[in-house]
Chain A
Amino acid sequence: MALPPLDSPQWQTSFRAFLWGARSIGATVLTLVLFATYLGIGALAHDSGFSLGWTLASTAFVWAGPAQIIVITTLGSGATVLQSAIAVTVSAIRLFPMVVSVLPLMRTEDTKRRHLILVAHLTAVTLWVECYRFLPQVPRNRRIAFIHGLGLGLVSVCLIANTIGYTLAANLTPLLAAGMLMLTPLAFLFSTARNCRELADVIALVLGLLLFPLAALLNSGVDILVSGVVAGTIAYGVHRARAGIVRARA
């Protein structure tokens, strides 16, 4: 699907820009990945004992797959609210640089901060990636409306996927239910691997996978935080050491 040229009358109203944004969910393979991920989250929530309304509320109000999975798996396995909240807080820090880098793409001289609240809420890794791809083809004064359409379109797809996943998990044979639960780790592993930009990211991913089973032996209730902070800090140390070597050579 191609967007209309920048000077097209199609961009004259915000409403049309919103519709073009919503229609653009059909133009990206990431929509399919999100669909599979949220199918898995729906099944996971079902098998962890949460209600469908709770699951949909988590998608609408949290709107960050990793945070939702942390809440479901930690609370589902008996962690305290504080332990879950700490793990989510740390995992969500990555949203800060995403919001910081996305907002200048759609700010104009007349833009007030409150106009950007919904854009900030909709910002997650998929939207962040797609902003760089789509926004150059959208007139600047219609970008907020376009992103509202794209973001709310993606949320709707995920709410539908949640409902299907949740319902299927209750009714499928154990074999297919297991297959649906497996969607979450697979989709997250490969989308994270794809997003690795630097060596530090790759080391953090590999060490994070390997250290979790060790940290789980501690049975601290915050195993994920322990392995995450240790693996992430080692990865950062390697990044620093390499930067030092490069500087020493220069």
Chain B
Amino acid sequence: MSGFIGDWHALAILFVAGVIPNQIWRMLGLWFGGGIDENSELLVWVRAVATAILAGIIAQIVVQPPGALASVPDWLRYGAVAAGFVAFMLARKSIFAGVIVGEIVMLSGKYWLG
């Protein structure tokens, strides 16, 4: 880590790749929001694509894990997600139950493997 800010170039990239593409939609909503039907067909498609992109991101972190997560075997990461999902459903869609059970399965599995 080189300092708190690090490299100014990276901060400029954050604005171009992250801040502007994200904020543009909020500001469009603020400016042109009045006349759009929240349940229009176009927005159903947009929501489906946005959900699938988010699902892709989740899959990417689990399938091609970054940093320390790469030291956990594939089957254990997939198993932890599956166990978390079962807990999520059993606990009447509790996000917390899903996260806790997924974490416990992965951490205890990894600890046990050494």
Contact = CB atoms under 8 A, between A and B. Distances in A.
B63 interface: yes
Nearest to A184: B61
A47 B111 CA distance: 21
Contacts, number: 333
Size bin of chain B's contact surface = 35 or more
A interface majority secondary structure: helix
Given A88-B21, A182-B77, A231 B26 contact: no
Interface residues of A, number: 110
**Chain B CB within 10 Å, residue with most, of A98, A182, A206, A232:** A182
B52 A227 contact: yes
A208 B51 contact: yes
Nearest to A225: B53
B56 A223 contact: yes
Contacts of B24: 89, 92
A24 interface: no
A94 B50 contact: yes
A75 interface: yes
Interface in A223-250: 223-225, 227-233, 235-236, 239-240
A128 to B, nearest CB: 11
Contacts of B107: 175-176, 178-179
A32 to B, nearest CB: 7
7 contacts: A70-B18, A92-B21, A93-B49, A99-B25, A198-B44, A236-B44, A236-B45
